[in-house]
Amino acid sequence: MRFNPISSEKRAKITRIIYHLLAWIALWCIVRYYSIPALTRDNLQVVWHASVVVFLQSISVFYLLGYVVFPRFLYTRKIISLIISILIICLLVHLTNYYEIMYLASITNGSADNPIYVSKLWGFYQTRSHWASCFVNFDIAYADYTWSLYYITPLLAIKVMRDIINSRTKNMQLEMERLQLEKTNLNLQTQSLQLQKNNLNLELSFLKSQINPHFLFNTLNAIYTKTVDVDEQAADLVLKLSDLMRYSLYESSKESVVLSSEVGYIENYLDLERTRFSDKVTINYQLKGNPGEYLIAPLLLVSFVENAFKHGTAKSKYASYVDLSIILDGNTLYFKIKNNIPQNVRLQKRVQNDKVGGFGLSNTSKRLQLLYPDRHKLSVQQTDSEFSVDLELVLDPANVIQYFTS
């Protein structure tokens, strides 16, 4: 046989019912066997009837006030509705007492010659009472209170205090839960930001690792050929290559560099490619503005230049061209580069249904999205004979002296 455990809410409800029953049993015993007999000193019929009426009045007023009027009007601070409700209850109590005392006066043992409590009380009501006397006559109001409301006053006080304590406890619990939730959300946001930062750093590291200056190896072969006879041009090539390698090794790990360093890298790259391909390529290069006034992420622009030679000049059997312009208008950089697509590459790409370019352009596009969100416009276009890249990039200003001395 299987028993279902009682929930905590249901257990609390059962306990509350038991407490109420015990309280009402105790109140009945006090009213029936102590208060009413000692107060009236009358016959058993008067004692029983008065005890039942007082007991029922106490229960009715307690639940009406404690579970209807106070929760709806007192705790919600609806003062006008609260006052009206209490006045109506007082009036009902007064009318009930009036007719109850009138009935008890008809069955009491007292008489005009020997008046006792009930007959005296009835004479008191007859001389002073009318339907609104409980509001204007203190004696009648006090008689109604002592007869009907005296016993439930402490019970109502306990009920109100318990409700207030429970309400404040519940509000404190809700406030603690809210604060805990805010703390949890703050921790989650902090963790999310940290994860985004870590992910950004990892992705940037990955993207930087993908930037492989593969042209250096090809250039080394050209330098070797030139240095066989040991001439001035070969020495210049070695110097430029040294500058390129120094920039790649030591500047690429920084978050940003002065734009003039990036431009210098590109200019050295162009000079090496001119030497490498000689008369096979025509390079048109234009620079406007002062690149020393702004910062840029290292090795960001060179992948576009590298792509132009890798997929254009390097694969062409005939003369080719690369046109490059770097223009600064305020803090906005306009970078444009275009190159011709060799005939053999066009045919190959048509068969493969692929695009000119490779991982270099894809990685650079990702770096731009990560490092310059909403601060760049990148346009990559390809025709049958030409490939072009247009980049518009908003740069940060640089304090050159501070940058080099830090």
Alpha helices in 211-342 (DSSP H): 215-227, 232-246, 259-277, 302-311
Structural domain includes residue 246: yes
Task: Check residue 351 and give its pLDDT.
Answer: 39
- Number of Cβ atoms within 10 Å of the Cβ of 248: 18
Measure Cα distances from 17 to 14, 153, 346 in Å.
5, 20, 90
Structural domain includes residue 200: no
Does residue 223 sit in the same domain as residue 144? no
Structural domain includes residue 255: yes
* Residue where one domain finishes, among candidates 106, 126, 151: 151
Q: Is 22 exposed, middle or buried (0-12, 13-18, 19+ CB in 10 A)?
A: exposed
Name the nearest CA neighbour of 214 among 141, 138, 273, 129. 273
Does residue 265 sit in the same domain as residue 343? yes
Task: Check residue 307 and give its pLDDT.
Answer: 83
pTM of the predicted structure, to 2 decimals: 0.46
Task: Check residue 235 and give its pLDDT.
Answer: 64
Structural domain includes residue 179: no
pLDDT tens-place values along the chain, 406 residues long: 454 556 777 888 888 899 889 989 999 999 899 888 888 888 899 899 989 999 999 999 999 998 999 989 888 889 999 999 988 988 888 888 888 888 888 888 876 566 788 888 887 787 766 667 778 788 788 888 888 888 888 888 888 898 889 888 888 888 899 899 988 888 888 887 887 777 777 666 655 555 554 555 455 556 655 565 566 666 677 777 777 777 777 677 788 899 998 899 898 888 888 887 777 788 899 999 899 899 998 988 888 988 888 776 656 666 788 899 999 998 999 999 998 887 766 555 543 444 545 556 778 888 888 889 889 999 999 888 888 999 999 999 987 444 444 4
Q: Is 264 exposed, middle or buried (0-12, 13-18, 19+ CB in 10 A)?
A: middle
Structural domain includes residue 189: no
Task: Check residue 356 and give its pLDDT.
Answer: 47
CA angle 10, 14, 17 (to 5 degrees): 140
Structural domain includes residue 167: no
DSSP secondary-structure letter at 329? E
Does residue 146 sit in the same domain as residue 219? no
Burial 108-121 (b: 16+ CB within 10 A, else e): bebeeeeeebbbeb
Domain residues for the domain of 134 are 8-151
Provide the pairing of β-strand 332-340 with 320-329.
Answer: antiparallel
Does residue 81 sit in the same domain as residue 217? no
